Amino acid sequence: MKPLILFRVDPRAVDPASALQRVEPDAPLLTATDLAATRGDGVFETIVVVDGIPQAVEAHLDRFERSARLLDLPAPDRAVWRRAVEAVAAELRVPRGAVKYVLSRGDEATGALTGWALGFAPLRQRAEPPAETDAVLLDRGYRSDVAKTSPWLLQGAKTLSYAVNMAANREARRRGAGEVIFVSSDGYILEGPNSTVIARIDGEYITPPVEFGILPGTTQADAFDALRTEDERVAVRALTPADLFTADALWLCSSTRGAAPVRSLDGRPVPVDHDVTRRIFAHLNARKA
């Protein structure tokens, strides 16, 4: 990830125009007592930008608000954060970039909230569908009802506490794969560390329910919109590992990549539908803010 643009965001600003301060991407931003750094106590979103247009902004702001609520953070001012996204996107001079915006609980010493928005260029710049990937199933260690029974575990919130996700990705690499799909302790498919699952089974495109403590997938939702326009059947319901092994196509959806087709799961081949992947990619690239 190459940082290109950085704005400090004042989460408490009344006027969105005065909430932003442009700083150099390598300039100091956080204090040593900021809870984002010392505790991973905060929330974030990442929005893809295509030809200067930030995509699915409102859906990401909805999720940003939801994550903040789950962490008992003050409700983000949508106008402030929308302005931050638009300001960064306007200055990204790349065909395909992204904006990551962050709300931290702030400085432990002062209690002042901290915010920032970073513009960067992902490695993939060409306008082509994402590459095929290999995935492994890993036990997440929680039941599928964890969001209801143990809301303090913050399942379904997009937080800065990513140590477990990073460890899962390292385990995938040790197993010769690039992606992880988590499975609940009671045997249901959940999500990836930074992706949402779509499986096609008997002609129906299925994704797991957010009630299982997974993050609402903005890219997955837009992929379903693309499929609906072509009269494809889509559904939200429980999936098991056995279901994925019988799927005739499988995708992992994330903001910066789109819908990446899975070609193997735990070393077993999975059919890849290049045509559907291209059609979803075209729909995602055509989105507006």
**Do 24 and 79 belong to one domain?**
yes
Average pLDDT, the chain: 94
Domain region containing 241? 133-285
Whether 126 maps to a domain, the answer reads no
Q: What is the mean pLDDT of residues 223-246?
A: 97
SS3 20: strand
Report if residue 155 sits inside a domain: yes
CA separation, residue 146 to residues 39, 162, 184 (Å): 22, 18, 9
End-to-end CA distance of the chain: 23
User: What does the pLDDT average to over 49-75?
Assistant: 95
CATH of the domain at 52: 3.30.470.10
The pTM (predicted TM-score) of the whole model is 0.92
b/e per residue, 188-224, with b = 16+ CB within 10 A? bbbbbbbbbbbbbbeeebbbbebebbbbebbbbbbbb
Report if residue 127 sits inside a domain: no
SS3 24: coil
For 6-17, what is the mean pLDDT?
92
Stretch 4-30: mean pLDDT: 93
- Summarised one tens digit per residue, pLDDT across range 123-149 is 565 567 889 999 999 999 999 999 999
Residues 22, 26, 32, 35: what is their CA dihedral angle, to the nearest 10 degrees? 60
Q: How many residues are listed for the chain in this entry?
A: 289
Same domain, 193 and 213: yes
Distances (CA, A) of 89 to 39, 40, 80, 285: 29, 26, 14, 15
Shared-domain flag, residues 90 and 159: no
176, 238: one domain: yes
Tell me, yes or no, whether 197 and 254 share the same domain: yes
Domain boundary, last residue among 68, 90, 121 = 121
Quick one: which of 259, 230, 260, 243 has its CA closest to 201? 243
Phi, psi values for residue 223, rounded to 5°: -65, -40
